[in-house]
Amino acid sequence: NAGVTQTPKFQVLKTGQSMTLQCAQDMNHEYMSWYRQDPGMGLRLIHYSVGAGITDQGEVPNGYNVSRSTTEDFPLRLLSAAPSQTSVYFCASSSQGDEQFFGPGTRLTVL
Amino acid sequence: EDQVTQSPEALRLQEGESSSLNCSYTVSGLRGLFWYRQDPGKGPEFLFTLYSAGEEKEKERLKATLTKKESFLHITAPKPEDSATYLCAVQARNYGQNFVFGPGTRLSVLP
């Protein structure tokens, strides 16, 4: 099993550009989440999904969209990138909604 | 508002020097408290889940304990490979997938 995979590993955007961060898991987990991690702060939840077709907002959802059309994939879309979205983004999945498996992260810089 | 704080922010130990990391939390109805280990440039890796006060879990040189207001991660006779950032997270009963993470404790174990 590959576990949780994320692409790209690194990305540089200009203010106003849009992009999609990809996340996939091969463990047949129902629960998937997106977090951002900033220096000195804990991981903060952006959006999550409890199954295909079901998504909900976390603590910091503004500026991000998600969809969950399959159990395996949970892409995160940045609609119009801003410097405040410079961060490391982690995707996670869970089978029971508790213990989470994290991907390797995407380091995003917005100029 | 649910909150998680961790102390100390950073800790340097000599190899073999035992110590404890603290995670203090405020949550309206704890469903679970989680410990993760994060190596530089990687995603967090699950260590333990604790569900009720008095519960303890062990794994190699690590032991996690839980009270009604805090959790401790005890490290016995640490080795350099235990160097990492240790994250604590809480899950409230009413908030489903809305995990709240602490900022972490950065542990360095010197040979």
The per-residue pLDDT of chain B, averaged, comes to 94
Three-class SS state of A61: coil
| Interchain pair A99, B46: CB under 8 A | yes
Per-residue model confidence (pLDDT) at position B92: 83
Check CB contact of A43 with chain B, cutoff 8 Å: yes
Distance in angstroms (rounded) separating the CA atoms of residues B57 and A99 = 14
Binary contact (B102, A42; C-beta < 8 A): yes
CB proximity list for A43: less than 8 A, separation 6 or greater: A35, A36, A37, A90, B44, B87, B89, B99, B101
Q: What is the mean pLDDT of residues B58-74?
A: 96
Burial of B7 (0-12, 13-18, 19+ CB in 10 A): middle
Cα A30 to the center of its chain, rounded Å: 15
Query: In which band, very low, low, confident or very high, does the pLDDT at A82 lie, cut at 50, 70 and 90?
Result: very high
Tell me the pLDDT of chain A averaged across its residues.
95
Is residue A52 less than 8 Å (CB to CB) from chain B? no
pLDDT score recorded for residue B93: 74
Burial zone of B63 (CB within 10 Å; 0-12 exposed, 13-18 middle, 19+ buried): middle
- Report whether A50 contacts A68 (CB < 8 A): no
Percent of chain A surpassing pLDDT 70: 100
By the 8 A CB rule, do A13 and A111 touch? yes
Q: What is the pLDDT of residue A41?
A: 82
Q: Residue B4 and residue B70: Cα distance in Å, rounded? A: 9
Contact (CB<8Å) A41/B99: no
Cα first-last separation, chain A:
36
Task: Provide the strand spans (E) within A8-98.
Answer: 10-13, 19-25, 31-37, 44-51, 54-57, 64-66, 76-78, 87-94
pLDDT of residue B95: 64
* pLDDT tens, position by position, B15-56: 999 999 999 999 888 889 999 999 999 999 999 999 999 999
pLDDT in tens, A20-72: 999 999 999 999 999 999 988 889 999 999 999 999 999 899 999 999 999 99
The pLDDT value recorded for residue B80 is 97
DSSP3 helix / strand / coil % (chain A, rounded to 5): 5, 50, 45
pLDDT at B1 over 80: no
Which chain B residues are closer than 8 Å to A56 by Cβ? 96-97
